[in-house]
Structure 1
Amino acid sequence: MNPAYVALESGHVLEGRGRAPGTARGELVFTTAYTGYEESLTDPSYEEQILTFSYPLIGNYGVREERFESDRVHPRAVLARELTDEVAAWLEAEGVPAVDHLDTRDVVTDVREGGAMKCGIAVGEHATPDDAVAELERCKAMSDHTEIGSQVSVAEPTVHGADNDGPTVALIDCGVKGSIVDSLLARGATVHVFPHDATSADVDAVDPDVLFVSNGPGDPANYGAAVSLVEAFVEELPVAGICLGQQIVARALGGTTEKMTFGHRGVNQPVLDLESGRVVMTTQNHGYTVADPGAHLEISQINVNDDTPEGLDGIEYDVLTRQYHPEANPGPEDTLDFFDDVLAMASPRIPRAIPADD
C-alpha cells in the first residue's frame, strides 16, 4: 500500500494507509452514520470537503449504483478506520484520494473540539508529509468558495415526470440529492430542475405551483441568485426548502445564518416538533444553520441536542422548510410526510395576504 499523510489545521500530521492515490484539500468534517456510505459519498453537499467516517468499517455491503444520490463522488478525499477493497477501488476509479488505518476517534475528537478545519491529503508511492502540508496551505475556507453552486448544479433546466398529473414544482438545484426529486415524482409532481443561478423569467416560463430550494454545499451567503428567486416569488407561490434551502429561504425573508462549529452529519439527529411535542429521528448533513429566522418565519422544530432550528413555517406566506433530509436516503423515514405537506400547499394556489402596517 502507498504512504498516506493527512495534515490538519490543528497542526497535527497523521500517517495512514493509502487506498486511493492523489492529493486533495478541503474542509475536514465527519459523519456518524454507520450505513449509507454510498449515499454520503455521492451527496453534493460534501463538495469541497474531506469526509471522515466515524464508523470503523466502510464498505461491508458493497457498492451499488442504484443507491447513488448523484453521478459522482463529491468529497475531495475520504478518511476511515478501514475501507473495503471494493470501496477503495471505487474511490480510486473516481480519482478521490482515500486513507485508512487511521484512529478516526482522534480525528473526530479534533473536529469536535476545534471545529471543522482545513485539511491537506497526500497519497502515493512518493508522497511525503510536506506534500500534505502544502495542500493544507492552499486550502480555502468554505465561505471563500463563492462559486460552489456551479460545481454541483445542473447547467441547463431539465424536467422530470412530464406526464405526471400532480403539481408543477420549480426546483432550484443548489446540489440536489436524487432522492429528493424521486420523492416529489413518487407523489405525482412534475419537477422542473433549474440551475442555482436561474432567473425569475426562467421559473415563470413553466408556471409552477411550488418553488422548492434544494440542499447543497457551502455558505448560503454565496447563493445570491437563489435568495433573489425566493424574494421574487414568495408572495405568489408556496415556497419550500431542505437543508441549504432552509437557510436560503430564511435569508430571503430577512433572517440570518451562521457557520456551526462542526455541523450535523449523521442519521440519528433527534428533532422536536414544537406544536405536537413529537420527537423524530432525522438524517442531516450541514455545516451552517439559521441564526435568526426574522420576522416573517417562525421556528416550528428544533434540534434536541443544541436547539438549532430544524423547521421553519411562514407567518404571512406559504413557506415550509426543513434543515434535515426528510427523503431519508440514508436514514430513518420518520419525516417522509414533509413532501406531502409541500405539495398540499400547491392546492388551492391562493397567496396569503400580507397584513397592512398599522
Structure 2
Amino acid sequence: MDRLLVLEDGSVWKGKGFGSDNFRVGELVFNTSMTGYQEILTDNSYCGQIIMMTYPLIGNYGINRDDWESIETAAFGLVVKDLCENYSNWRADETLDAFCKSQGIPGIYGVDTRAITRRIRDKGTMRAIMANADANVDALVAMLRQSEPLHDQVRRVSSTKLYSVPNRGPKVVVMDFGCKLSIIRELSERGCDIVVVPWNTDAKTILSFRPDGVMLTNGPGDPTDVPEAIETIRSLIGQVPIFGICLGHQLISLACGAKTYKLKFGHRGGNHPVVDLRDGHVEITSQNHGYAVDADSLEGTDLVMTHQALNDKSCEGVAHTKYPVFSLQFHPEANAGPNDSKGMFNEFVELIKNEKEKKNA
C-alpha cells in the first residue's frame, strides 16, 4: 500500500507502508547505526519522534524477545530505505512489520533516505507525519507548521510507581526519566540493590531509602521541561554520589548552573567518537540526544568537562569539583552500540565504595 511522508518544509516522499496506520506528528530524526533497530525502537528517549535509519537494509534479523529497552514503545514512526520482510536469525520471533503493527508504530519504506538525511542536516530536524497516498498534502503541511512541539515526553515514559530490583550490593536509587533496561542490567550485574523511582520523586523520598548512590537515566525531550527534577538533583548534590546518563547529564548540568541548547540535527547512532579529556583516550560511543550542554556555560560552575565529541567538539561529560557527581552525554550501557564505555559503571560503583570508606573512616 502506498504511503506518504510529509515534512513541514513542504517536501513529500512517496513510498510503501508497513506497520501501523497510527499516524502522528513527530520530530523526524535520523540514526546512523547499522544494527540495533529493535533497541532503538524500544528506547524511550525517542518518544514523540519519527526515526529514520540511514543504513539501507532494515529488518533482516527480525525482532526477538531479549533485546527490548522498554516494556512499551514510545516512537512515533520508522522510515527505512529497504524493508526486509523475511528475517534470518535464530533468536527472532517475528518480523519488523509485525512488531510495528503490534506496537502502533507506522512505517514507510522505499523512500530516498539519503536525500532526506541531507535535507535534515542542511535545515535541521523537522516535524513530519505519515499519511495515506490520497491525503490532502497542503492541509498536512499547514497542520505541521501550526503544531506545537511536545513538552511532556518524560511524563509519558517514566514509571508511575516505584519498584525494586533487589540485590546484596550497594543500594542505588534510579530516577527514571525514560530508563533503558540496559542501565538496570549493568547495575544489576555489578550487584547493585536497585530502587527505581518516578521522574518527579522529591529528594526527601529518595534519601529515605538511604541510598549509596543515585542514577539519573536517559530520557526524551528538552531537559528544561522538567524543572522539578532539576530542583531535586540540586538538593541531592553533596548528599550522595550521583551518576547521570544522557538526559541525566543535562539535568546535572542545569542543576549546577550551566545551560543547554538544542542541536541542529542531534547525535543518534552507534559510531560517535568521544575523547576522554582525563587521559586522552578515544572511545566509539552510542548516542541519542537532541540537546547538549553548553560547554562555555560551565565556567563559573563547580563542573568541569571530562569528555568531548570529536565531530563537533560538544560537551559529552562533566564532573563536579567538590562532590562525587559525574555524568555522560553518551550511552555507556550501549545496546545498540559499541561497548567501549561500559567501564563507566565500574567507576560509579568504585566511587560509591570510596565514599562509604570515607564515611566509615
User: Normalised by the size of structure 1, how large is the TM-score?
Assistant: 0.92
Deviation string 1:271-298 (CA, Å, 9 cap, x unpaired) is 0111211111000000000002351110
Residue 41 of structure 1 and its aligned partner are, at CA, apart by: 0.3
Residue 347 of structure 1 and its aligned partner are, at CA, apart by: 1.9
Runs of 5+ unmatched residues, structure 2 = 86-94
The one-letter code sitting in structure 2 at the alignment partner of 1:153 is S
Matched, 1:112 2:121: yes
Deviation string 1:115-135 (CA, Å, 9 cap, x unpaired) is 1111122147x5453564365
Most deviating of 12-21 and 171-180 = 12-21
Residue 147 of structure 1 and its aligned partner are, at CA, apart by: 2.1
* Distance in 2, Cα, partners of 1:149 & 1:171: 14
Q: Identity of aligned pairs, percent?
A: 35
Partner of 2:92: none
The one-letter code sitting in structure 2 at the alignment partner of 1:334 is D
Matched, 1:51 2:54: no
Residue 350 of structure 1 and its aligned partner are, at CA, apart by: 6.0
Residue 136 of structure 1 and its aligned partner are, at CA, apart by: 2.1
Q: Contact 1:168/1:208 (CA < 8 Å) preserved in 2?
A: yes
The one-letter code sitting in structure 1 at the alignment partner of 2:159 is V
Q: Choose which of 310, 316, 319 in structure 2 pairs with 1:310.
A: 316
Matched, 1:288 2:291: yes
Residue 72 of structure 1 and its aligned partner are, at CA, apart by: 2.4
Partner of 1:154: 159
Partner of 2:347: 341
The one-letter code sitting in structure 2 at the alignment partner of 1:238 is P
Matched, 1:223 2:223: no
Alignment of 1:1-358 (within 5 A): 1=1, 3-20=2-19, 21-85=21-85, 86-123=95-132, 127-130=135-138, 132-133=140-141, 136-137=144-145, 139-141=147-149, 145-160=150-165, 162=166, 164-291=167-294, 292-294=297-299, 295-349=301-355
The one-letter code sitting in structure 2 at the alignment partner of 1:194 is V
The one-letter code sitting in structure 2 at the alignment partner of 1:148 is Q
Runs of 5+ unmatched residues, structure 1 = 353-358
Deviation string 1:26-73 (CA, Å, 9 cap, x unpaired) is 111000001000000000000001100101111111101210100122
Q: Contact 1:236/1:351 (CA < 8 Å) preserved in 2?
A: no
Q: Contact 1:171/1:194 (CA < 8 Å) preserved in 2?
A: yes
Residue 148 of structure 1 and its aligned partner are, at CA, apart by: 1.7
Q: Contact 1:168/1:191 (CA < 8 Å) preserved in 2?
A: yes
The one-letter code sitting in structure 2 at the alignment partner of 1:264 is H
* Distance in 2, Cα, partners of 1:84 & 1:95: 19
CA change 1:57–1:84 in 2 (3 A) is same
Q: Secondary structure of the residue that 1:328 maps to in structure 2?
A: coil
Q: Secondary structure of the residue that 2:6 maps to in structure 1?
A: strand
* Distance in 2, Cα, partners of 1:323 & 1:51: 20
Q: Contact 2:203/2:233 (CA < 8 Å) preserved in 1?
A: no
CA change 1:350–1:66 in 2 (3 A) is closer
Q: Secondary structure of the residue that 2:116 maps to in structure 1?
A: helix
CA change 1:93–1:316 in 2 (3 A) is same
CA change 1:128–1:93 in 2 (3 A) is farther
Most deviating of 99-108 and 69-78 = 69-78
* Distance in 2, Cα, partners of 1:97 & 1:7: 13
Partner of 1:356: none
Matched length: 346
Deviation string 1:89-109 (CA, Å, 9 cap, x unpaired) is 211121111111000001100
User: Normalised by the size of structure 2, how large is the TM-score?
Assistant: 0.92
* Distance in 1, Cα, partners of 2:265 & 2:60: 27
Q: Contact 1:213/1:241 (CA < 8 Å) preserved in 2?
A: yes
